[in-house]
Amino acid sequence: MPVSDYQMIEAWRQVLTLSRLEAGQTVTILTSAATHPQTLSTALIATQSMGAIVNRLDLPPVNGEKALSRDSLAYLGTTPLTGNPAAIAALKASDLVLDLMTLLFSPEQLEILKTGTRILLAVEPPEVLTRLVPSLADRERVLAAQARIDRAREMHIVSAAGTDFHCPIGEFEAIAEYGFVDEPGRWDHWPSGFALTFPDEGRAYGRIVIDRGDILLPQKSYVQDRIELTIENGFAARIEGGMDADLLKEYMGTFRDPEAYAISHIGWGLQPRAHWSTLGLYDREATIGMDARAFEGNFLFSLGPNNEAGGKRTTACHIDIPLRHCDVFLDDEAVVRDGRVLDK
């Protein structure tokens, strides 16, 4: 059900306080055609009430004629900042950018972060944002998982459904997403709550079984029949199964890019307030599915780019797939057992 403006303003103030917003800092709120009006209006009130110097930068949407979905993650790469040095300069001059548009997986975002600007993405509906306001406890838990990943040299995932997937790791640093930006040059996503990394380039191998009830994003659908991926040299060499497999193959094939089939990020969900079941309770165009990405104990893997971690793959296709009921091992030490996180 809807939330009040008061609730949203209070949620913003909590997140902005955690993000170390101080009076006199410059905040730029980045918006576009799909920005939620309540999220924007309450962000304007919250930032000004905390003494910030507030700007709004509204940019026209791009890629609508290329994407097969209205989801902001359905077609990556170019953004409204591409070839727009004036807009980039404004964001670089800001202490904090509230991204209500979606810059994810763009070289412009990486360029802005290098200047020390903090960027917080917030594009979920207000009802999701207020339910999943981050906390210091979220940060502590996700950072502990990040540290465990950084110490490991292989992530191994198995399941009763048939997954047996090996990912040598260490080439790319682990990433912690806990929902706020408390350090210069940090990017995060409100809501979130997971730790991840990327496999060593070209070395992931094995078998992934996407079982009934697992989720495909940006399709935002629960799988109805099993999909089996054969992973060779870091790529999904074969995608087999019934209609869901056919739909996935056809969608990915529209990008006409072999890099779309590469294994991208890997990790597990750590957010107990996110839920597997909520995806079916929202209109598909109302959410990008952060509950599905963050719910506690999932194994989340993706196909597509790795430039966010410093890699060279920049394909426009990005598929996120959270799996249930997996065991996740780091160097033979279990961190998740049958979808239950083993950190407490």
Helix 37-49 × helix 5-18 angle, to 10°: 60
pLDDT of 174 over the 70 cut: yes
pLDDT for 49-82, tens place per residue?
Answer: 999 999 999 999 887 787 788 888 887 878 899 9
Handedness of CA 145, 321, 106, 304 (dihedral sign): positive
No. of H helices and E strands in the chain? 8, 20
Give yes or no: residues 116 and 147 share one domain. no
Give yes or no: residues 118 and 147 share one domain. no
> Amino acid letter at 204?
A
- pLDDT, residue 104, reads 81
pLDDT for 100-158, tens place per residue?
Answer: 999 887 889 999 999 999 999 999 999 999 999 999 999 999 999 999 999 999 999 99
Which backbone phi and psi does 175 adopt, to 5 degrees?
Answer: -125, 135
3-class DSSP state for residue 78?
coil
> Amino acid letter at 269?
G
3-class DSSP state for residue 165?
strand
Give DSSP secondary structure letters for 81-137.
TTT-HHHHHHHHT-SEEEESS--TT-HHHHHHHTTT-EEEE--S-HHHHHHT---HH
The residues that bridge with 195 in the sheet, in sequence order, are 176, 268
Give yes or no: residues 271 and 330 share one domain. yes
**End-of-domain residue from the set 98, 113, 131:** 131
Give yes or no: residues 144 and 48 share one domain. no
pLDDT for 28-47, tens place per residue?
Answer: 999 999 999 999 999 999 99
- pLDDT, residue 1, reads 81
Give yes or no: residues 160 and 240 share one domain. yes
pLDDT of 173 over the 70 cut: yes
- Among 30-34, 68-72, 220-224, 295-299, the range scoring the smallest mean pLDDT is 68-72
Total domains in the chain come to 2
Looking at residue 94, which CATH number applies to its domain?
Answer: 3.40.50.2300
> What element of type H or E holds 303?
strand 299-303
CA distance 344 to 339: 14
Alpha helices in 171-289 (DSSP H): 243-253
State in Å, rounded, how far the first CA of the chain is from the last one.
33
Q: Which residue has the tokens 């806990």?
A: 178
Smallest Cα–Cα separation from 190: which of 291, 121, 289, 143?
A: 121
The fraction of the chain above a pLDDT of 70, given in percent, is: 100
CB atoms within 10 A of CB 167: 22
Domain span holding position 66 = 5-131
Give yes or no: residues 122 and 190 share one domain. no
**End-of-domain residue from the set 74, 103, 131:** 131
Give yes or no: residues 88 and 49 share one domain. yes
DSSP state of 3: -
Give yes or no: residues 231 and 297 share one domain. yes
User: In Å, how far from its chain's centre is CA 39?
Assistant: 19
Smallest Cα–Cα separation from 235: which of 205, 215, 266?
A: 205
| Contact partners, residue 246, CB within 8 Å, separation at least 6 | none
Give yes or no: residues 168 and 76 share one domain. no
325 touches 258 (CB < 8 A): no
**End-of-domain residue from the set 131, 162, 186:** 131
Give yes or no: residues 48 and 93 share one domain. yes
Give yes or no: residues 111 and 197 share one domain. no
Give yes or no: residues 316 and 167 share one domain. yes
Q: What is the mean pLDDT of the chain?
A: 96
197 touches 309 (CB < 8 A): yes
pLDDT of 164 over the 70 cut: yes
- pLDDT, residue 344, reads 60
Average of per-residue pLDDT across 11-31: 98
115 touches 91 (CB < 8 A): no
